[in-house]
Structure 1
Amino acid sequence: MEYDIGANGSGTVCHLSADLTFNDHEAFRAMLDDAVAQASGEIVLDLSKLEFIDSAGMGMLLVAQERSQSEGWSLAIDKPQGQVQKMLELAKLGQVVTIRS
């Protein structure tokens, strides 16, 4: 997983690219910690350039959602594409996380 963090009008955006798999759990947690430290509102995970996600990557998104609820900030997922979008749909992740196309 590769990422960069920036700001938008309503909060913080994490742009993820490449793959999100089991091997990325430490980097994902570090990214989330950085985003929370910078956040001024909503944290958005922009998945438009993420090419692949496995079940562990899906679990990381759920962990981020649980953390947002326990810490009182909001989380949204933006622009999933291809295999990533299909996985999110199959897992019905949109029932627990805001997903915007």
Structure 2
Amino acid sequence: MKYEINSDGSNAVCVLSGELTFNDHDLFRRMLDEALVGGTKQVTLDLGKLDFIDSAGMGMLLVGQDKSGSEGWSFDLQKPQGQVKKMLELAKLSQVINIHS
């Protein structure tokens, strides 16, 4: 997984690319910590450039959702495509995480 964070202070958009798999667990947590520096209240993961996600990657999305709920910030996903979109739909993640097309 590769990522880029675009932040305006209160909102952070993390643009993910490549693959989100088990091997990215530490990097994913580090990305969230970076996105939350400076009092960010909203973190959005832009999945438009993410090519692949496995079950561990989907678990990381749930970790983000859980962390946001316990720490008082908002978390959502946007632009899932291809295999990533299919996996999110099959897992019915939209019932737990806000997903925008």
State the TM-score bracket (shorter-chain normalisation).
over 0.9
Whether 2:67 is the aligned partner of 1:64: answer: no
Runs of 4+ residues deviating >6 angstroms:
none
In the alignment, structure 1 segments of 5+ residues that lack a partner are none
- 2: CA distance between counterparts of 1:39 and 1:78? 21
**Counterpart residue identity of residue 23, structure 1:** N
Name the counterpart of 1:34: 34
Percent sequence identity is 62
Name the counterpart of 2:24: 24
Name the counterpart of 1:93: 93
8 A contact 1:12–1:38 mirrored in 2: no
8 A contact 2:9–2:40 mirrored in 1: no
Aligned residue pair count: 101
| Root mean square deviation of aligned Cα | 1.4
8 A contact 1:48–1:78 mirrored in 2: yes
Shift of 1:37: 1.3
TM-score by length of 2: 0.95
Closer, same or farther: CA 10–33 of 1 in aligned 2, 3 Å: closer
In the alignment, structure 2 segments of 5+ residues that lack a partner are none
Shift of 1:7: 1.9
